[in-house]
């Protein structure tokens, strides 16, 4: 693409964004001074107030209600270690109550890294010449997907930079290409998207190729910080286009939508309230809250000083608090803890944070899976990855800690999205599907991809444990799962789900 052509596209896109913003019909939902005031008013919580909120959050596990901004602010100011223990225990209990003790597994797939934006925290920003950027061709993408499905993955988050060459048409083409790959029993059954905000019409096109969830992270809800890290004149510099991006996705019929913050850009307590107000606004407008919430932290990136020098960097201790508060404030949401974080911290945070989805065996360089035999490549990555365990090693550790690793992708293919999914999650009945589909999809992994050690612990301990849970809690479903388990094992049937 020639520079004048790229500049013309950029200009047109910016104009389109600004036109949408000037005619926006949705009310604003981020009031900085109101959030700051709530934080100030609730900075000295009494023990009893904290314990009452913890109990209330437990009660909300079966009603799906959100905590209020004041309650979240109060939790965010707790200091006593024993009260944090009560919060961590509640987070674990709420997650088990809503989703059961399964962890859904996915892989990030970086499809394009060329980007017209200049976000100061990102290794892919245009000004950073130290990191190579490119977009996968169709055959390269298929090669990446072949490697992923050969590891056992069934669910992707496909990640895109923002440029004319990776617009919604490129997203459609690459998602279709990913779904077309079949390698033995290997295939991708759910492709979630992490990409720049689109117009309603563009979202409609992306929906038509069968995507799962569409993620847009606001990065920071604090407007002055947003302006400081997203330079004026860039596409991403337009705060409201991004803030209401998932409203437009809902308008286009994409009803599984995902929010997130890049923690470390501004005060984590403020950002938690931003996430809460975002969830409340989506519920008010569409009756459907976020399908998942993500909480990536700033990670070191090549030639990117802000990533290590921001005054708001979040410590491991505060990170664990953030994850737990997300679970208490929004009990029905999926909670995503990625391999950005070190293995030991992830292990500690799964239970105490009520995490429900994790990636493993991840590569975040564009084209990185086709070069699995090589070391990670910081000069081709957006940031540096911390947990580099293989998928099989990760699953082994999950099994050892008593979790059910799940490759379930049944939800959206069975029509359980948006307003259909929400009551199941809000009334904590979705776990019946989660455990049943978790068992069947994990058995597929054990049959087709697992190491002998993982197969042994999976078949001897994990699957029997969760079959027993089904027998005791949902006997009618349990019989069907037993039947389908035989089909998976003896008849080599695949993709049996409820
Ligand atoms: S954060 Fe996203 S939009 Fe910003 S420079 Fe990086 S890839 Fe581009």
d(CA 146, CA 157): 15
d(CA 23, CA 25): 6
Task: Please report the atom of ligand 1 found closest to the CA of residue 126.
Answer: 5
What is the H or E stretch that residue 168 is in?
helix 168-180
d(CA 315, CA 302): 21
pLDDT of residue 473: 96
Q: Which residues constitute the domain of residue 285? A: 3-30+90-389
| Residue 472 forms part of a structural domain | no
d(CA 144, CA 372): 10
Q: Which of 372, 379, 332 is nearest to 354 (CA)?
A: 332
CB-based contact 221:265 (threshold 8 Å): no
Query: What angle (nearest 5°) sits at the alpha carbon of residue 153, between those of residues 150 and 155?
Result: 145
Residue 130 CA to ligand 1 centre (angstroms):
15
Ligand 1 pocket, residue 383 CB under 6 Å: no
Number of domains in the chain: 1
**pLDDT class of 94 with cuts at 50, 70, 90:** very high
pLDDT of residue 368: 92
**Residue burial 136-147, b: 16+ Cβ < 10 Å; e: rest:** beeebbbbbbeb
| Residue 84 forms part of a structural domain | no
Q: What is the rounded average pLDDT for all residues in the chain?
A: 96
| Residue 82 forms part of a structural domain | no
CB-based contact 199:248 (threshold 8 Å): yes
Q: Which residue is closest in CA terms to ligand 1's atom 7?
A: 161
Ligand 1 pocket, residue 339 CB under 6 Å: no
d(CA 330, CA 332): 6
Q: Which residue is closest in CA terms to ligand 1's atom 4?
A: 119
Residue 98 has pLDDT above 80, yes or no: yes
Lowest mean pLDDT among 146-150, 283-287, 373-377, 479-483: 373-377
Residue 261 CA to ligand 1 centre (angstroms):
14
CB-based contact 337:324 (threshold 8 Å): no
**pLDDT class of 2 with cuts at 50, 70, 90:** low
| Residue 81 forms part of a structural domain | no
**Percentage, residues of the chain above pLDDT 70:** 100
| Residue 39 forms part of a structural domain | no
d(CA 321, CA 331): 15
Residue 100 CA to ligand 1 centre (angstroms):
35
| Residue 484 forms part of a structural domain | no
* Mean pLDDT within 453-480: 97
Tens digits of residue pLDDT in 434-444 = 999 999 999 99
pLDDT of residue 379: 78
**Percentage, residues of the chain above pLDDT 90:** 92
Ligand 1 pocket, residue 133 CB under 6 Å: no
CATH code of the domain in which 141 resides: 3.20.20.70
Tens digits of residue pLDDT in 44-89 = 999 999 999 999 999 999 999 999 999 999 999 999 999 999 999 9
Residue 35 CA to ligand 1 centre (angstroms):
27
Ligand 1 pocket, residue 111 CB under 6 Å: no
CA 482 to chain centroid? 31
- The three-state secondary structure class of 116 is coil
| Residue 300 forms part of a structural domain | yes
Q: How many CB atoms lie within 10 A of CB 454?
A: 25
- The three-state secondary structure class of 281 is helix
Lowest mean pLDDT among 121-125, 214-218, 457-461: 121-125
Ligand 1 pocket, residue 131 CB under 6 Å: no
Tens digits of residue pLDDT in 319-377 = 999 999 999 999 999 999 999 999 999 999 998 999 999 999 999 999 999 887 777 77
Residue 416 has pLDDT above 90, yes or no: yes
pLDDT of residue 146: 97
Residue 185 has pLDDT above 90, yes or no: yes
| Residue 343 forms part of a structural domain | yes
Q: Which residue is closest in CA terms to ligand 1's atom 3?
A: 117
**pLDDT class of 426 with cuts at 50, 70, 90:** very high
Residue 242 has pLDDT above 80, yes or no: yes
């Amino acid at each position: 693409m020639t520079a004048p052509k790229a500049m013309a596209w950029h200009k047109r896109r910016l104009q389109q964004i600004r036109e949408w913003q000037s005619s926006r019909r949705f009310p604003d939902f981020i009031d900085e001074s109101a959030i700051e005031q709530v934080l100030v008013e609730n900075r000295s919580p009494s023990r009893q107030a904290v314990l009452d909120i913890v109990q209330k959050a437990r009660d909300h596990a079966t009603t799906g209600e959100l905590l209020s901004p004041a309650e979240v602010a109060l939790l965010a100011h707790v200091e006593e270690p024993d009260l944090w223990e009560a919060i961590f225990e509640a987070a674990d209990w709420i997650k088990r109550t809503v989703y059961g003790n399964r962890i859904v597994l996915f892989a990030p797939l970086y499809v394009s890294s060329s980007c017209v934006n200049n976000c100061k925290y990102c290794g892919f920003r245009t000004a950073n010449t130290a990191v190579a950027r490119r977009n996968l061709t169709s055959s390269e993408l298929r090669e990446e997907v072949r490697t992923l499905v050969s590891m056992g993955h069934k669910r992707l988050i496909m990640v895109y930079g923002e440029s004319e060459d990776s617009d919604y048409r490129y997203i459609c083409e690459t998602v279709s290409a990913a779904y077309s790959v079949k390698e033995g029993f290997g295939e991708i059954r759910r492709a979630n998207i992490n990409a720049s905000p689109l117009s309603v019409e563009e979202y409609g096109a992306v929906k038509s190729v069968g995507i799962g969830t569409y993620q847009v992270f606001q990065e920071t809800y604090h407007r002055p910080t947003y302006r400081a890290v997203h330079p004026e004149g860039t596409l991403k510099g337009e705060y409201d286009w991004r803030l209401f991006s998932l409203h437009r996705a809902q308008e286009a019929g994409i009803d599984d939508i995902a929010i997130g913050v890049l923690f470390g850009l501004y005060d984590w307590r403020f950002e938690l309230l931003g996430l809460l107000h975002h969830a409340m606004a989506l519920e008010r407008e569409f009756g459907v809250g976020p399908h998942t919430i993500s909480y990536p932290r700033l990670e070191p990136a090549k030639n990117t000083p802000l990533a290590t020098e921001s005054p708001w960097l979040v410590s491991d201790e505060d990170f664990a608090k953030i994850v737990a508060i997300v679970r208490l404030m929004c009990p029905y949401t999926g909670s995503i803890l990625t391999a950005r974080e070190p293995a030991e911290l992830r292990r500690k945070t799964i239970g105490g944070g009520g995490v429900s989805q994790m990636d493993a065996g991840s590569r975040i360089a564009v084209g990185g899976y086709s070069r699995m035999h090589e070391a990670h490549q910081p000069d081709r990555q957006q940031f540096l990855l911390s947990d580099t365990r293989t998928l099989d090693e990760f699953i082994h550790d999950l099994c050892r800690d008593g979790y059910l690793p799940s490759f379930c992708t049944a939800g959206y293919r069975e029509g359980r999205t948006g307003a259909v999914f929400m009551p199941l999650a809000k009334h904590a009945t979705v776990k019946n599907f989660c455990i049943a589909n978790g068992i069947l999809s994990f058995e597929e992994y054990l049959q087709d991809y697992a190491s002998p050690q993982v197969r042994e612990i999976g078949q001897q301990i994990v699957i029997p444990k969760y079959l027993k849970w089904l027998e005791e809690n949902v006997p009618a479903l349990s019989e069907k799962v037993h039947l389908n388990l035989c089909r998976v094992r003896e008849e080599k049937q695949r993709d049996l789900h409820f």
